[in-house]
Amino acid sequence: MTPLTLGSAAPDLEIQSTGGKTVRLTDYAGRNIVLYFYPKDNTPGCTQEGGDFRDLSERFAALDTVVFGVSRDSVKMHEGFKSKQAFPFELLSDPDERLCGLFDVIGMKNMYGKQVRGIERSTFLFDRRGMLVREWRKVKVKDHAREVLLAVEGLN
């Protein structure tokens, strides 16, 4: 599959989600969508990033914006992570990397001095028309959720 670029329409893929749901981004036409990819549930950076999106969730909701977190972890693992951290948004499970591939977020990374293949922390913003309007790659967690919120505010 060809990776998405700015101006691309939201992909029409079914992805398993927490809450026993199957999510299609195209089902959210008319709303802004924030899709943030993170490496692994229950790790410090991923917990902080999710917590930052959680803490701003009411502001995103007020802007008619739905937030989804995505990693390769299983739905079962996501359920525990979501519950423990009280995330008000769904986490999408992408073990076969279909969504990760479309957004070109899989790459080689250094972890404890070893090269490993994993998700590069990235975030994507779709507008109400379902078009990709912003992307953030190689994200640093600090202040990232707030930066995304500012971008959403700029759309409305």
Active site positions, annotated:
46
**Other beta carbons less than 10 A from residue 95's beta carbon:** 12
Do residues 95 and 72 lie in contact, with contact meaning Cβ atoms separated by under 8 Å?
Answer: yes
Alpha carbon 107 to its chain centroid, in Å, reads: 16
Q: Give the CB-side neighbour count of residue 156, counting CA atoms within 13 A.
A: 17
Which residue in 107, 104, 156 sits closest to 133, CA to CA?
156
Among the listed residues 12, 14, 6, the one whose alpha carbon sits nearest the alpha carbon of residue 94: 14
